Structure 1
């Protein structure tokens, strides 16, 4: 028999958060997301120095980046299922602790194999964060605010990447590449403690507005999360979900390639120092991405209130406009011209970050939402950015031109993502209506 104390404890652990509690948890999740991308991006900022120390080829550098992304993709699905069954804030705390320790140990490695292993462990830790955190945010705010909140949360990807590239280059040039891993690995342990102490929101509370229905969804999600085939069968009835998965695969391919190779591209093609290459790539990514993401979240929510396809239209336009801009930027031969056009391309591409996450929330039931996010990330990473750093490295070694390797792959993948999202414009309204009928 449950005691009054244990019952009170459960209510505190799983509850409809107050606005202040939701904002506090969201702030912690945003900080963790920033640390997430700092940890994953620092390798690309210092890999030129690591290449010289360990005598690596471009293929081996690509494999270091791909190892993290491959393990990250494999681990995302099972941890996503875990997030549908367990307490999400605890899952996040465990994963943050694991990736912070793995990052710190990376500074102690002495050869390619050791660094390969620590980056692989980093992938396991970071895989658990995205599905659980997106689900927590979706259950902490009303539907009409999800797009904006997820857009703000998505800026953590961009801020963290920029900080990782800038800090990594500056610290590595001043103190050596090992100190970069020491400095960025430790703050995650403090963030893990704070999210562990936060409130776990009720599942689906803002989707139906009724406590009883929310409790029913919460009790049902365990069996569904435990049977991935049943979840997939339910998702097969949602065409928009698979449109988003296909778009993820195409866009993740170039995202993985760009984050892994842009600092090295600037160092080689424009003869920049390690520190300046990190500052330029990080600064452009930060400025352009924050502007584009916030505009995209606001524009997607505003257009969504008028037509059911609003967010999907913004997403498709972002890819279709960003593709030629990316090709033009990579074709520039002077640094000022490259920075100007690349900044415009980043703004265009970032318009989709908030809307595409919100669409994923809108077309999936709350009881399997974490698993749905995990499956989308699994396919996106395994077929997209997990393979792209290695492929780009192979093309670079073969052609002796990293710029050529980026130019022939990036714009093509982005254009395909845009075409795929045009299909989603025809399906998203019906899928959203289907979810609405399920919840009511």
Structure 2
């Protein structure tokens, strides 16, 4: 399978990754009724998934640096698909928490490895764009998860949703297992063919510690800020549209899906294209692209809340989703290739542990006490902090490389 075939397969798997993750949001009104849950508990269900997802990401990242990332990814796909199907058997709140936690274990294995599988096949000048294509799975899968959850749930019940979206993962796990190993090639020198890039040393903790410097740590902080905002929006947008804007469950799920998918289809590739072009001219270009995108998105989100406008929510999501490929590329820009899987996993650990793990629970608690509108108004602040961190990382990268226009 060629590199574009691998990219296409990993994109399809990533779509199902986010479908299985976000189907819960689509059926959350049904779960509230079936299990007598409040908003805080709905938030905690999302946090249960993200907590295990976060805690096991680093071990899976290190394992894939030591072994074959495509095999680790395949094992993860199998685990999350099985756990998703078994969610349909839940008869108590505790069982829901258990199965959602295991979905997080499997998805962590995949996300910790897929970016490296792709990045080894494309040079640094293409990385934001290709990772942006891969990360189209986020808006497409999140939208489909919410829409399918709402539509199937209304017709067949919430349990059928998890069976229907989980079963395809078994086939995808086999296909991921069959991806061949790949050795990156250096650019050819005039008169000579391309040569393999060989690692002089294997993974070790000192190498990992030495590569985690301030520009990388600022990328992680940027991830935390945008993850805090986006995670809560994904989890609570259907509830917001039903409760505050008085849409039916099916219409709220569809509206949420349209906002997310259109924003991702346009935002991820446009953001990646702009960031790559800016990066070629100026090494801080990727960070500055995200600084501007987060600023505009925060302003639009506040306006959307104030004016109760789904159009403004959609525009805010468009700029918010510029980050999906660009931030991933910045992780690779600021670390050594030998520890890419581990560096990605560490970024995931903190972006979830301090980002969307607490944000769903905190948003639910604020909503129960002060209302969902008040809870939503806090979210753009975190995104602004993330944008500033991305911008500072870009500035430090440019300064260290002596980059100028």
Indicate whether the TM-score tops 0.5: yes
Measure how far apart 1:426 and its partner are: 2.0
Shift of 1:331: 1.7
Q: CA deviation at 1:212?
A: 7.5
Q: Check the 8 A contact 1:323/1:412 in 2, yes or no.
A: yes
1:75 maps to which of 56, 61, 69? 56
Q: 2:385: which partner in 1? A: 416
Superposition TM-score, scaled by structure 2 size: 0.95
Contact 1:363-1:432 at 8 Å conserved across structures = no
Residue range with higher mean Cα deviation, 418-427 or 246-255: 418-427
Corresponding residue number in structure 1 for 2:209: 233
Aligned position for 1:344: 315
CA deviation profile, 1:291-341 (whole Å, cap 9, x unmatched)? 0111111111111121111111111111111111111112223xxxx1211
Q: What is the correspondence of 1:163-202 to structure 2 with a 5 Å cutoff?
A: 163-202=144-183
Corresponding position: 1:403 with 2:379:
no
1:142 has 2:123 as partner = yes
Is contact 1:208–1:214 with CA below 8 Å preserved after alignment? Answer: no
Going from structure 1 to structure 2, the CA distance change for 1:189 and 1:422 (only over 3 Å counts) comes to: same
Task: Give the drift of 1:213.
Answer: 7.2
Is the CA contact 1:221–1:368 (under 8 Å) kept in the aligned structure 2?
A: no
2:284 counterpart of 1:309? yes
Q: Structure 1 pair 129/114, CA: closer, same or farther in 2 (3 Å)?
A: same
Q: CA deviation at 1:347?
A: 1.4
Report the alpha carbon displacement of residue 430 of structure 1 after superposing the two structures with TM.
4.7
Aligned residues of 1:139 and 1:206 also touching (Cα < 8 A): no
Report the aligned-residue RMSD: 1.9
Contact 1:141 1:206 in 2 (8 A): no
Between the aligned partners of 2:199 and 2:391, the Cα distance in structure 1 is 35
Taking structure 1 as the reference length, the TM-score comes to 0.87
Q: Which residue does the alignment assign to 2:15? A: 34
- CA deviations over 1:156-200 (Å, ceiling 9, x no partner): 111000111111111001111111001000001111111111112
| Distance 1:208-1:119 versus aligned 2 partners, 3 A rule | farther
| Equivalent runs, 1:19-418 vs 2, <5 Å | 21-202=2-183, 205=185, 214-217=197-200, 220-222=201-203, 224=204, 227=205, 230-236=206-212, 238-333=213-308, 338-399=309-370, 401-407=371-377, 409-418=378-387
Structure 2 gap ranges (5+) = none
Larger mean CA deviation between 419-428 and 34-43 belongs to: 419-428
Taking structure 1 as reference, are residues 358 and 322 closer, same or farther at Cα in structure 2, changes over 3 Å only? same
Distance 2:196 2:282 in 1: 27
